[in-house]
Structure 1
């Protein structure tokens, strides 16, 4: 089992370009697994964790409802945002500058074959990261993602999750609001859940801006512990697609 992890920081990158890149990594892992089975090989499958910020974009999961996007195509253009229907689970979500999006592309057979455990560990990574900033984040029963003040009238979501898995290979992932312009969430019903607010780390801490690099370092630290993984390369690097 290969538990080494290649970290790729894409910086600010278009959603479609990033999706295509994810898909190429995802398909390569599936190709290796297929060849291993077909030819009785034991080639190790790689694992990746992509960090990225996207320009303004709304994405709708395969189980989502288009009615949860509350604005027209014309309004999308007016606010310089894009919209995509994609192949992850979940409903609608928003990505934009100031939000850390993480895409773990893992062969879970290198770790464990339990998709529910995978989701819970991603949530736990977020919870532990936010705890370092003095926030008590938690899960909300029946709702993926990470929340604050669950069970109160002030419940608000700070991190969305949506994944796809095929033959135990994952793609898509999590979106943590750090310095996010929350006004963009007004154009949708977040994750299809009415009456629930969203928040971001800088709002919760009452600061203008939080270091994105610092948050990514904390996320990675907790990811490595929870998944009992190690970094393949010592430093994050930027690549051009």
Structure 2
């Protein structure tokens, strides 16, 4: 099936609120059937987000400490519990009309996981899923988290892949609500790490897993810039 899909890469660090705004504008394009899907890839400024299953109870420091460290706290409308986003972590927000693929949420989440698994495989790293927990794991350490929202079969939110992230920030929470959870980052496993290369591989694997060619556009496209 031919699908009309766009890819937007945001340079620099993006605030979490701005990330939500970008998704909203992409959602409007997909809901209007102008395109079938948009994938936004970016790095966030340090932020903890809680999900629909809660998460504040898994924050291990108070608001004063968050302020001192320069870490924001937001509530998100995605599934899951508390997680962290920050520099050195690649966040992918696919805004997809699943009616153009499959109206099957377990398939969709597994496909997001598969994207990361295939990227890691290119680096000779064997990654896996765990039956009880969503995300991607290398051994007993989690390297990528998945949390989605879906309305009328259109997706928002997505996945976060640790590439060269500050893991000490994860120690301030019970990641995903799991006490004692250890996280991994790609730079723990290979050296050196080229962030832009990983982004290229992420695009390649999204194309393969979702059988779609993504057209690169700038963020101006979301604002209606025909030359973007």
SS in 1 for 2:160: strand
RMSD, aligned α-carbons: 1.7
Among 222, 225, 232, which residue is 2:208 paired with? Answer: 225
Among 147, 151, 169, which residue is 1:162 paired with? Answer: 147
How many angstroms apart in 1 are the aligned matches of 2:83 and 2:2? 32
How many angstroms apart in 2 are the aligned matches of 1:68 and 1:17? 25
Deviations 1:123-168 (A, max 9, x none): 011001001111110001110000011xxxxx10000010000011
Shift of 1:237: 3.7
Aligned residue pairs, count: 221
Contact 2:30 2:38 in 1 (8 A): no
Flag as ranges the 4+ runs of structure 1 deviating above 3 A: 43-46, 236-241
Q: TM-score, normalised by structure 2?
A: 0.92
| Larger mean Cα displacement after TM superposition, 118-127 or 21-30 | 21-30
Give the corresponding residue for 1:4: 4
Pairwise mapping of residues 168-183 of structure 1 onto structure 2 (< 5 A)? Answer: 168-183=153-168
Contact 2:96 2:155 in 1 (8 A): yes
Shift of 1:27: 3.7
**2:180 matched to 1:195?**
yes
Give the corresponding residue for 1:93: 83
Give the corresponding residue for 2:226: none
Contact 1:159 1:174 in 2 (8 A): yes
Q: TM-score, normalised by structure 1?
A: 0.87
Contact 1:93 1:191 in 2 (8 A): yes
Q: Structure 2: which 5+ residue stretches go unaligned?
A: 224-228
SS in 1 for 2:180: coil
Among 184, 196, 208, which residue is 1:213 paired with? Answer: 196
Shift of 1:46: 3.3
| TM-aligned CA distance change 1:44 to 1:19, over 3 Å | closer
Q: Which has the larger radius of gyration?
A: 1
Contact 1:89 1:162 in 2 (8 A): yes
| TM-aligned CA distance change 1:123 to 1:196, over 3 Å | same
| TM-aligned CA distance change 1:2 to 1:74, over 3 Å | farther
How many angstroms apart in 2 are the aligned matches of 1:146 and 1:46? 26
Q: Structure 1: which 5+ residue stretches go unaligned?
A: 33-42, 150-154
